Structure 1
Amino acid sequence: MSVFLPLFDEQEDALLESLARIGPIAFLASRSSSLPLPAHSFILVEHDRPFVLDEAVSWLDNGVDKLIVPLSWAKELIELISSDRLLLMLDVANISAVSDKVRNGVSGVLLKTPAIDLDLIASISKFFTGSAIHVLSNSSVSPTSSLIRGLLGIGATPVLPVSQLTLSPSSASKLNIADAFLAPIVSDRPDGLFPTVVSTETGHSLGLVYSSTESVKESILTGKGVYQSRKHGLWRKGETSGATQDIVSIRIDCDSDSLEFRVVQHGAGFCHLNRASCFGEMSGLPALESTLRSRFQSAPEGSYTKRLFNDPELLRAKIMEEADELCRAEQKADVAFEAADLFYFALTKCIAAGVGISDIETSLDRKARRVTRRTGNAKPEWSQKQSAPPSSPKTRDATVEDGPIRMRSYDLAVTPPEERNGLLRRPVLKSEEMMNKVKPIVDDVRSRGDAALLELTAKFDKAKLTSTVVFPPFAAETMAVEREVGEAIKTAYANIKKFHEAQADGATLRVETMPGVVCSRFARPIARVGLYVPGGTAILPSTALMLGIPAQVAGCREIVLATPPRPDGSISPEVMYVANLVGASAVLKAGGAQAVAALAYGTESVPKVDKIFGPGNQWVTAAKMLVQNDTDALVSIDMPAGPSEVLVIADYTANPGFVAADLLSQAEHGVDSQVVLVAVDLDEAKLAEIEKEVDVQAHALSRVDIVRKSVSKSIIVKTRSVQEAIAFSNNYAPEHLILHLENASEQVKYIDNAGSVFVGPYSPESCGDYASGTNHTLPTNGYARQFSGVNTLSFQKHITSQEITQSGLRGLGPVVATLADCEGLEAHANAVRIRLKELN
C-alpha cells in the first residue's frame, strides 16, 4: 500500500533516491523533463499548462504510471486514455463542477485544500465512490505522523511536498521520510517488531526476519538491508559475512502490520547456511539466472556455457534455432520444453550484456504502460513466408517440407549437469493434466453406457454405429486377409505363443518353513481382461497378438478386445483375424478414453473386465490411470504406457544405414514418438553419415510428415565410452534399447533399465515388434525403471496358502500369540490359544 505520495516541487536530489525505495513519486509537469524519472512515477499537470495530447501520451509511453490532471485536461483525455491512468486534480470548492462522465473516466482524485479537514474529506470521498482519494494541503504547516494516520484511516492518501520532507530527524517544519512511511504501521507483538518478508527483486522469497522503527529508518536512508535481531539488536545484513543487500523497495502490507523488503542480494546468499533462500534452493528462472551469472564469472574452460559466452555467433544461432523449434511445437509439453531451451539461450545473451530478469520485468512493465501501440506486424525478413498467396499453401511451404530431417545434438562431456536432466525428458503431457481432460469422457460412459459410447465414437472416430460390440462367431468376411498376411500372422502367433508358454507359472510352489508348517503359492488366471489395440494412424494386428496370446496362454476366461473402428464402422480384418485366433470373447468397436471406461465399468453390451492392457496415446494412458484409481471400477492396468520410443547405442562398428533405419522405425509411430541416438566416441564424419541416412530414408517413407515432426524433437547424445553411454541409457530407461556395439552381447549384463533389448546389428527392433516371440507392449516414458513389459505372468495372479498340522501349531502358535499380544490384538492371539488349549 502507498502510505503517502511525495510531490517533487523543488530540487531535492538527495531525497529522490530514498523516496523511490518506498513508493511512487509525483513530479510537476514543468519539472519532469529535467529529471530522469524513476519507476512508478506520477506527473502532476499544473492548472495553467495548455493541453497538448502528444505530451500526455509521451509521458505515459515513457513509463509514467498516472497523470494527475486538471479538469480541462481530464475532459480531453477521458475518452482517449484508460481511466486507471488518470487522476483528477480539484480544489475542494469545485466538486460540483465534475460531471458523471468525468467522474467515471478517472480512477481517483487529488483534492487541493487550504487545510486538512478529515470530516470534509470523508464527505467528499462519498461523491467519488470507488475512486482513490489523494489530499494535498496548501498549508505551510508541517505534516505529522498522526495526520498521515488520520487520512489513511478514512481511505485517503496524503500528498506531501518534498519541501516538507527531510532525511534528517523530524522537526517542527519538516517530517523525516522514514517517520512518514512508518506512520500507519502497527505491531501485535510484545516486542513491537514487524515481521518482514525479504524477497529478491523479482519477488522470490529469501527468508523471514523482523524489523524495528530504527532498522527501517536506516534501510530507507542508506539503501542497505538492515533488520532487528531479537537477540543482538540492529542487524546490518552482511556486515561480517559480506553478503550485503541493496534495497530495491520497501512495502507495507494491506493490514499495516508487516513489511516486504525487495533486495539485490550479494555474496553467498541470504540464509546462514550459505544458500540463496532460507526456504531451500532456488528453482526455475531465478536458479538459472544465478547459475548463468556464476558461469559468466568463472565458467570452466571447455564447458558449453563458456562457449556460448565466448562465441556470440554460436549464441545467436542457438537463439534462432530454439525460437524456430518453439514456433513449430504444438503440444503443451513440447511448447514448454522448447520455451525452456529458448529461455536458457536468451538469458545467456542477457547475462552477457549485464541484463537480469528484473531488468526484463521492468521493460515489460514499461511496455505494458504504453498508450500507443505498434501494429505488431513482423519485419519483412520474417513475414516473407506468410506473404505468399493464400491460394497456394503447398508452394509456400515446399522449402520447409523438403528441408533436411535432423535430430538435435548434445555432447555429454560439455553439457552442464543442470541441462542433462532435460535430455531425459519425454515430449508428453503431465498425466494429471490429461486425467482432468479424460475424466468427463470416462464419467459420461460410466453414467450413460452404450448411448455415450455410440455418441463419442461418432465424435472422435467419425463412425456412426448401431451397436458397440461384436461377439463370436465372427463373420468370415470380417476376417478376410491376404494369404501372405495370414501366413505371417500364423508364424508370429507360433513364435510368440512358444515364448509365452515357457513363461507360464503352472507349478505350485511348496515350502515347509518349519516342521508341520507348509506354505504354498499357485497361479490362477485373471478371469476377465480387456485388451486395447490402438488404431489411429496405423493398423496394429501385432498388438492384438502381443496381448491376446499371453491372455490365451494364461487361461483367461473372457478376453475383450477394444479397437477404434474405421469410418465405415468396421474393424480392420487383420485385427479381427487375430481376435479369432486368440479366442477373443468380444470385440469392442471403440477407442480412446471411452473404450477404457467401457472396459472398466461395463455397459449394457460391453462386459466389464478386471484388468486392462495395451498401449495407446496420452488419452488412453490417462484414462487407464484414472480408472485404476477408482475403487468403484475395481480394475487394474498393465502399466502407464505412452508414445513409442527407442534408444540406440552405436559405436564405430555400427552400420549407418542400420542405425538410421532403427531410429526411423519408432519415429514413424506418431508425432509424439521420441528417438535417441547415443553415439559412442563417433567422429563427425561417422555422425554425418548416420544423419544423412536418417534424412534419405525418412524422405522415402510414406509417413514422412509424421517422421519429420518426431525426429525434430529427438536427440543425438555424444559420449566418450560405452560405459558412459549405458549409464545414460539406464537413466533414460527406454522402451526399446538397441545395441550396435562391438561385442554387444557382453554389454547386456550392464543394462538395468529397459523395456526390451535388441542385441547386435542383426536384431532390429521390428522383429520384437512382430514375430521373434518377445512382447512389444513395453513401459515408456521412463517407467522401465519400475515396470516390466507385458508377459504371461501379467495375466496371472498368485494365491498363497498355508497348511499347519497339530505339531506345527504347537511350535508356531506361541510365536504368533506373542506377536499378537505385542500389537494389542487379543482376538488374533485368542484364535491361536484356543486351539493350543484344545491340543493340550
Structure 2
Amino acid sequence: MIVPSIDIIRGRTVQLVGGRDQVLDAGDPVPWLEKFSVAGEVAVVDLDGARREGSNRELIAELCRRAPIRVGGGIRDLESARWWLDAGATRIVIGTAADAALLRQLPRERVIVALDAEDGEVVVDGWRTRTGRTIEDRLAELRDLAGGFLVTFVEREGRLGGTDLDRAARIVAAAGSTRVTVAGGVTTAEEIAALDRLGADAQVGMALYTGRLSLGDAISAPLVSDRADGLVPTVVADERGTALGLAWSSRDSIAKAVELGRGVYQSRTRGLWIKGEQSGDTQELLRIDLDCDRDALRFTVRQRGAGFCHLKTTTCWGVAPPLAQLERTLRDRAAFPEPGSYTNRLLSNASLLRDKLVEEAGELADAVTAREVTGEAADLMYFALTRMAATGVTIADVERELARRALRVSRRSGDRKVADAGVAR
C-alpha cells in the first residue's frame, strides 16, 4: 500500500533528486498532511535533522497531533526516540544510529529502520556518507530487532523513472517477516500494486506532488475483485468505528472520493453516487483502508444530516448505539434549545453544570456495588457529554486524545494533583 511522504527543510515541504538537489518547494506541510492522511499513515522526514542542519521539531510535533505519522530524520539516540514516541508519532524511523543496543530499548513494533542505499551501498548522515555495507548486511543484523524497514534507492529518488522491483523482491525475501517499505522512484499505480504483491509498501513523494500519480489511484492500486464489473464491497463507518452501511466502490469512485474529500460510491445501477448530493446528508471522507486480502474497503467518514440510511436513520441497521444517540441529542439541544429542557438549563448555566460534574464525580468515587458504579457512571457521562457539547467537543475527539496518550512510552507517577497551598484537589 501507499505511504505518502512529506520531506521538510526549514519548515517547508520539499522534494530532492538523488537525495541532494532540491527541485520542488511545495510550501506548508499542514495542507499536504490533511490531503495525504486519507491514505492512512504518512511519512514525515525532517531533512534538516537528518543533515544535522537544524530541526523542525515543533512543526512535526504539531503534525503528530493532527494525523497518524511516522517520523524520521535526526533521531540518533534513546532520548530523542522516546521524545517522538511520547509526542504521538505512531512509529519512528531510525537510520544512522540504528544498532542493536538502541533498538533493544525501544518497542519493536514502533521502530522502522531506514536503510538508504546508493547503487547497493548503505549511506548515512542524510545520504552523504558511504558505509561500505550492503542492504542485505544490515537486514541480517537488525531484522529481529526492527518492526519494519524503509529501504530507499537513493539513485532513483525524485527522478520519476520507476523503482527497482527485482531488487525490492530480494530485499523483501531477506527481511523475512519484517515489513518493508520501498522508496525511490515509485511513480505508477502499477508499481504500487506490484510491490504490494511482493509484500512491501511504497513510500511516494515526487510522483504525488507533480501529479504524475493521483492519490486516489495510489490508494486503489492493490485492490482486487472477483466481480465482472470490478466493484469491491465498502463498509462505511463513522469516526468511532460504528458501521453505518455497506456500499460498493470502483477505482473511479475512489478517485472521485479522494478528489472531493467526500463519500463517493459506485451504484450498481446508477453509476457514481455522491452521498448527500440530493438528501443533504453529506459525508466528509476521513480515511480509506484496504482489508488484508485487498478485496474490500472501509471508508471512515464524518456523517452529517439525518444519517447514512435512505430511511433517515443513522445506520442501515437503525439507530446508533446509546452513547452516540445521547451525544447527538445533546448536540441538537445546544444548536436548537427547547423550552423546559434540563439539558438546555445546564448549557446556559456553566456554574450549575460545573457543580453537577463535581457532585457526580464524587458519587461515582464513593459507589461500592456494580449497580451503584453503573448508575453513577451513567450520570457522570451525561454531564460530561453535556460539557463537551457546550464546547463542540465530540466523543471521537476524546477517543483520539486517548489514542494519542496510549502512544507514550514514558510513564508518569499518577499521584493526585496538589493545589499551590498544599491541599489536595
Report the TM-score when normalising by structure 2.
Answer: 0.80
Closer/same/farther in 2, CA of residues 167 and 226 from structure 1, 3 Å limit: farther
Aligned-residue CA RMSD (Å): 2.6
Determine helix, strand or coil for the equivalent of 2:398. helix
Aligned-pair distance for 1:217? 0.7
- Write the deviation string for residues 607-656 of structure 1: whole angstroms up to 9, x where unpaired: xxxxxxxxxxxxxxxxxxxxxxxxxxxxxxxxxxxxxxxxxxxxxxxxxx
Give the letter aligned to residue 361 of structure 2: A
Closer/same/farther in 2, CA of residues 50 and 218 from structure 1, 3 Å limit: closer
Aligned counterpart in structure 1 of residue 243 of structure 2, from 180, 189, 205: 205
Aligned residue in 2 for 1:152: 196
Determine helix, strand or coil for the equivalent of 1:6. strand
- Please state if 1:78 is matched with 2:103: yes
Give the letter aligned to residue 149 of structure 2: V
Q: Distance in 2 between matches of 1:259 and 1:8?
A: 25
Aligned counterpart in structure 2 of residue 104 of structure 1, from 144, 147, 171: 144
Aligned residue in 2 for 1:25: 42
Aligned residue in 2 for 1:216: 254
Q: Distance in 2 between matches of 1:109 and 1:5?
A: 13
Determine helix, strand or coil for the equivalent of 1:272. coil
Q: Distance in 1 between matches of 2:75 and 2:276?
A: 52
Closer/same/farther in 2, CA of residues 16 and 50 from structure 1, 3 Å limit: closer
Aligned-pair distance for 1:100? 7.1
Aligned counterpart in structure 2 of residue 331 of structure 1, from 360, 369, 382: 369
Aligned counterpart in structure 1 of residue 170 of structure 2, from 103, 113, 123: 123
Q: Distance in 1 between matches of 2:210 and 2:330?
A: 39
Aligned-pair distance for 1:246? 0.7
Give the letter aligned to residue 196 of structure 2: L
Overall identity of the aligned pairs, in %: 38
Contact 1:67 1:85 in 2 (8 A): yes
Give the letter aligned to residue 193 of structure 2: R
- Write the deviation string for residues 576-633 of structure 1: whole angstroms up to 9, x where unpaired: xxxxxxxxxxxxxxxxxxxxxxxxxxxxxxxxxxxxxxxxxxxxxxxxxxxxxxxxxx
Structure 2 unaligned blocks of 5 or more: 8-13, 15-24, 49-55, 122-133, 157-162
- Please state if 1:262 is matched with 2:262: no
* Residues 508-657 of structure 1 mapped to structure 2, 5 A cutoff: none
Contact 1:195 1:258 in 2 (8 A): yes
Aligned residue in 1 for 2:22: none
* Residues 45-56 of structure 1 mapped to structure 2, 5 A cutoff: 45=73, 49=74, 51=76, 53-56=78-81
Aligned-pair distance for 1:227? 1.3
Aligned-pair distance for 1:166? 4.5
Closer/same/farther in 2, CA of residues 237 and 96 from structure 1, 3 Å limit: closer
Q: Distance in 2 between matches of 1:189 and 1:88?
A: 39
Aligned residue in 2 for 1:44: 72
Aligned-pair distance for 1:144? 1.8
Aligned residue in 2 for 1:806: none
Higher radius of gyration, 1 or 2: 1
Determine helix, strand or coil for the equivalent of 1:276. coil
- Write the deviation string for residues 378-401 of structure 1: whole angstroms up to 9, x where unpaired: 11369x9999xxxxxxxxxxxxxx
Aligned residue in 2 for 1:189: 227
Aligned-pair distance for 1:74? 4.5
Give the letter aligned to residue 152 of structure 1: D
- Write the deviation string for residues 323-348 of structure 1: whole angstroms up to 9, x where unpaired: 22222223333322222221111111
- Please state if 1:95 is matched with 2:95: no
* Structure with more strand by fraction: 2
Q: Distance in 1 between matches of 2:90 and 2:348?
A: 39
- Write the deviation string for residues 291-347 of structure 1: whole angstroms up to 9, x where unpaired: 111111123122111111111122112222222222222333332222222111111
Structure 1 unaligned blocks of 5 or more: 169-173, 388-840
* Structure with more helix by fraction: 1
- Write the deviation string for residues 352-386 of structure 1: whole angstroms up to 9, x where unpaired: 1111011101101110112222211111369x999
Aligned residue in 2 for 1:235: 273
- Please state if 1:68 is matched with 2:96: no
- Write the deviation string for residues 698-738 of structure 1: whole angstroms up to 9, x where unpaired: xxxxxxxxxxxxxxxxxxxxxxxxxxxxxxxxxxxxxxxxx
Aligned residue in 2 for 1:133: 180
- Write the deviation string for residues 807-838 of structure 1: whole angstroms up to 9, x where unpaired: xxxxxxxxxxxxxxxxxxxxxxxxxxxxxxxx
Aligned-pair distance for 1:231? 2.2
Contact 2:236 2:245 in 1 (8 A): yes
Contact 1:39 1:64 in 2 (8 A): no
Number of corresponding residues: 372
Aligned-pair distance for 1:105? 2.7
Q: Distance in 1 between matches of 2:371 and 2:204?
A: 52
Aligned-pair distance for 1:165? 1.2
Determine helix, strand or coil for the equivalent of 1:363. helix
* Residues 349-360 of structure 1 mapped to structure 2, 5 A cutoff: 349-360=387-398
- Please state if 1:164 is matched with 2:207: yes
Determine helix, strand or coil for the equivalent of 2:143. helix
Aligned residue in 2 for 1:6: 4
Contact 2:75 2:81 in 1 (8 A): no
Q: Distance in 1 between matches of 2:41 and 2:367?
A: 42
Give the letter aligned to residue 26 of structure 1: A
**Which of structures 1 and 2 has the larger relative contact order (alpha carbons within 8 angstroms, sep 6+)?**
2
Q: Distance in 1 between matches of 2:286 and 2:210?
A: 18
Report the TM-score when normalising by structure 1.
Answer: 0.42
Aligned-pair distance for 1:251? 1.1
Aligned counterpart in structure 2 of residue 313 of structure 1, from 310, 335, 351: 351
Give the letter aligned to residue 81 of structure 2: A
Aligned-pair distance for 1:15? 4.2
Aligned counterpart in structure 2 of residue 302 of structure 1, from 326, 332, 340: 340
Give the letter aligned to residue 89 of structure 1: A
Closer/same/farther in 2, CA of residues 321 and 195 from structure 1, 3 Å limit: same
Contact 2:243 2:315 in 1 (8 A): yes
Determine helix, strand or coil for the equivalent of 1:165. helix
